[in-house]
Amino acid sequence: MPLPTRTHWAALLVLGALALTGCGSSEERTGALDTASDGKKPACRAHQSLLPSPDYTAGRNAKPLAVLGMMKYYTAMGAVRFCDGKPATTQDTAWTQLYISLTKP
């Protein structure tokens, strides 16, 4: 069996942290991601109106709860269609690219 790579360890860390993000208040999250969540999984997703803020993009200086909340949202909703049926906007694409950059090996 191969030894775990950095990517595997990072994935385990993210999964563990995601389990803990449900323990805090949603008011603790900062930044511009709009999850439009009322506690139920929506059937479609709304377009993002803002680009990711430094809370998400500042690397080591990013806010971990904000990043983990975004990753949780995109893991669950990234493949869900937009409610208006239109393609992704520039803002939507920026959020998707951020998610991809954080999850690629």
pLDDT in tens, 64-105: 999 999 999 999 999 999 999 999 999 999 999 999 999 988
Is the pTM above the cut of 0.75?
no
**Does residue 15 carry a pLDDT above 70?**
no
The 8 Å CB, 24+ separation contacts for 30-35 are 30/55, 30/63, 30/65, 30/66, 31/55, 31/56, 31/63, 31/66, 31/70, 32/56, 33/66, 33/69, 33/70, 33/73, 33/95, 35/69, 35/73, 35/77
The mean per-residue pLDDT over the stretch 22-32 comes to 44
Average predicted confidence (pLDDT) for the chain: 77
34: pLDDT confidence band, cut at 50, 70 and 90?
Answer: confident
What pLDDT score does 8 carry? 54
What pLDDT score does 28 carry? 36
